[in-house]
């Protein structure tokens, strides 16, 4: 079995589970489409949604959240591309190889998704109290930028938010990657 192709196919199945819809006021959002639910996914749709919300928020999750749904869809799309690229195929002979390679590449995969505009980052930081908790957790884990004076304080505050946003992306990537790795291991045992 080609492990990388199986992982890409599983990620694709998960990505297709998300459907873009439009609210009455014209704003787009993502929801899970029961018709597109992968046959191999045994968890109930509502439990699946709750699990990926908890992936970044823990037990005190914001359910439902348009931002979390969009992040989940984007992470599934990123994983499709990651598992389907030639470099991943060269580094993924086993599920454990794929897991290690993803862990090594998670920053490079997630970093382009982090907004670069201050306004967007500030809105995200203030959108939900759990976002501030993600920022604190990420700064403790990865180190916070140092505030030396007033001029660098604003820039470093924004960098702290970016670190928190990146942390949220990595948590979501890891959540979906583990679902995919479980699926690939299941496929291996079926062979």
Domain boundaries, the chain: 3-190
The C-alpha atoms of residue 172 and residue 36 are separated, in whole angstroms, by 20
Q: At what angle do helices 3-16 and 66-84 cross, to 10 degrees?
A: 160
Choose among 57, 17, 68: nearest CA to 41: 17
The C-alpha atoms of residue 138 and residue 162 are separated, in whole angstroms, by 10
Residue with tokens 């589970």: 17
pLDDT by residue for the chain (191 residues), tens only, comes to: 788 899 999 999 999 999 999 999 999 999 999 999 999 999 999 999 999 999 988 876 777 889 999 999 999 999 999 888 867 667 667 888 888 888 888 888 899 999 999 999 999 999 888 888 899 999 888 887 776 655 555 568 888 999 999 999 999 999 999 999 999 999 988 87
Q: At what angle do helices 66-84 and 45-57 cross, to 10 degrees?
A: 90
């Amino acid at each position: 079995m080609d492990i990388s192709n199986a992982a890409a196919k599983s990620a694709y199945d998960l990505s297709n589970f998300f459907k873009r819809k439009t609210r009455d006021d014209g704003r787009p959002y993502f929801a899970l489409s029961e018709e597109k639910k992968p046959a191999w996914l045994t968890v109930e749709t509502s439990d699946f949604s709750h699990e990926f919300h908890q992936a970044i928020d823990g037990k005190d999750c914001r359910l439902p959240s348009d931002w979390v749904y969009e992040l989940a869809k984007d992470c599934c799309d990123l994983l499709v591309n990651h598992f389907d690229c030639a470099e991943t195929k060269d580094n993924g002979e086993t599920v454990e190889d794929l897991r290690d390679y993803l862990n090594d590449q998670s920053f490079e995969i997630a970093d382009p998704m982090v907004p670069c505009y201050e306004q967007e980052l500030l809105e995200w930081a203030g959108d939900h109290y759990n976002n501030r908790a993600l920022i604190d957790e990420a700064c403790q884990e990865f180190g916070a930028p140092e505030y030396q004076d007033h001029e660098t304080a604003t820039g470093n505050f924004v960098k702290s938010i970016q670190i928190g946003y990146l942390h949220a992306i990595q948590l979501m990537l890891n959540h979906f990657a583990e679902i995919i790795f479980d699926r690939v291991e299941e496929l291996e045992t079926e062979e």
